């Protein structure tokens, strides 16, 4: 039987982009930041708007994307998910960083054994046609859920994404950071087909 197609975001789900963000912010502002300083998915609470361009430019320097640390459990989790799902990475590259896409593909292959034909680079994640999308950005989940009324939107739980979805959408969204849970949901989907 064909495995259900599932999309998985990279930054904030598989790879720790926050650590380099905090390192750069510390260099720019001379103070230490932690995940507790973030009040939402974006970095508005730690980077002032007038310094954002400078911040993104530094984050886009060669080697940063290539050297991200996979989150604890992500490699085993993806292996588990891959047993029941046809997994694609659905990822938005850093605008203005010419080597980001190339480094991401190298990184995905090195850590997860994922080839580039299984990677969708897009900021418009709602176009991904699959049974499930796993992402830590509430807006991506909202847009994808709207486009795919029968799909299962999964907001990957992080301390910075305590987002309230609309009453209509809230009951549909799984909020978890458990690979076991998402894998069992996909497995149940297969059984019920």
Tell the smallest beta-carbon distance from residue 191 to Mg ion (Å): 29
Dist CA 142 CA 82 (whole Å): 24
Q: Smallest Cα–Cα separation from 140: which of 159, 167, 158, 122?
A: 122
DSSP 117: G
**Contacts with Mg ion, 71-90, as mask; x by CB under 5 A:** --------------------
Tell the smallest beta-carbon distance from residue 78 to Mg ion (Å): 15
Tell the smallest beta-carbon distance from residue 2 to Mg ion (Å): 27
Helix (H) or strand (E) holding 119, with range, is strand 119-121
**Contacts with Mg ion, 8-47, as mask; x by CB under 5 A:** -x-xx-----------------------------------
**Contacts with Mg ion, 131-170, as mask; x by CB under 5 A:** -----x----------------------------------
Tell the smallest beta-carbon distance from residue 123 to Mg ion (Å): 11
112-120 contacts at long range (C-beta below 8 A, 24 or more positions apart): 112/14, 112/70, 112/74, 112/75, 112/78, 114/87, 114/89, 118/87, 118/88, 118/89, 119/88, 119/89, 119/91, 120/7, 120/88, 120/89, 120/90, 120/91
Q: Of the two residues 175 and 187, which places its CB atom closer to Mg ion in the complex?
A: 175
Q: Of the two residues 7 and 151, which places its CB atom closer to Mg ion in the complex?
A: 7
Residue nearest to Mg ion (CB): 12
Stretch that binds Mg ion, among 4-12, 22-30, 72-80, 178-186 (CB under 5 A): 4-12
Tell the smallest beta-carbon distance from residue 41 to Mg ion (Å): 8
Q: Does 4 bind Mg ion (CB under 5 A)?
A: no
Contact between 115 and 82 under an 8 Å Cβ cutoff? The reply is no
Strands 86-91 and 5-8: parallel
Tell the smallest beta-carbon distance from residue 178 to Mg ion (Å): 17
Q: Of the two residues 161 and 183, which places its CB atom closer to Mg ion in the complex?
A: 161
CA angle 127, 21, 153 (to 5 degrees): 30
Q: Residue 33 phi/psi, 5° resolution?
A: -120, 150
Q: Which residues bind Mg ion (CB under 5 A)?
A: 9, 11-12, 136
């Amino acid at each position: 039987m064909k495995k259900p197609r599932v999309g998985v975001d990279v930054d904030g789900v598989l790879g720790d982009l926050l650590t380099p963000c905090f390192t750069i912010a510390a260099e720019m502002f001379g103070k230490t930041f932690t995940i507790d300083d973030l009040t939402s998915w974006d970095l508005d609470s730690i980077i002032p708007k007038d310094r954002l361009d400078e911040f993104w430019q530094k984050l886009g320097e060669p080697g940063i994307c290539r050297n991200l640390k996979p989150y604890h459990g992500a490699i085993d989790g993806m292996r588990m998910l891959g047993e029941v799902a046809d997994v694609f990475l659905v990822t938005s590259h850093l605008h203005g960083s010419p080597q980001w896409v190339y480094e991401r593909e190298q990184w995905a292959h090195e850590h997860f054994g994922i080839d580039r034909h299984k990677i969708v680079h897009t900021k418009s994640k709602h176009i991904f046609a699959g049974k499930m999308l796993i992402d830590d950005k509430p807006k991506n989940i909202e847009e994808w859920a709207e486009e795919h009324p029968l799909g299962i939107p999964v907001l990957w739980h992080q301390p910075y994404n305590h987002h309230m979805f609309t009453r209509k959408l809230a009951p549909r969204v799984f909020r978890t950071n458990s690979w076991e849970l998402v894998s069992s949901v996909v497995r149940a989907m297969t059984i019920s087909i």
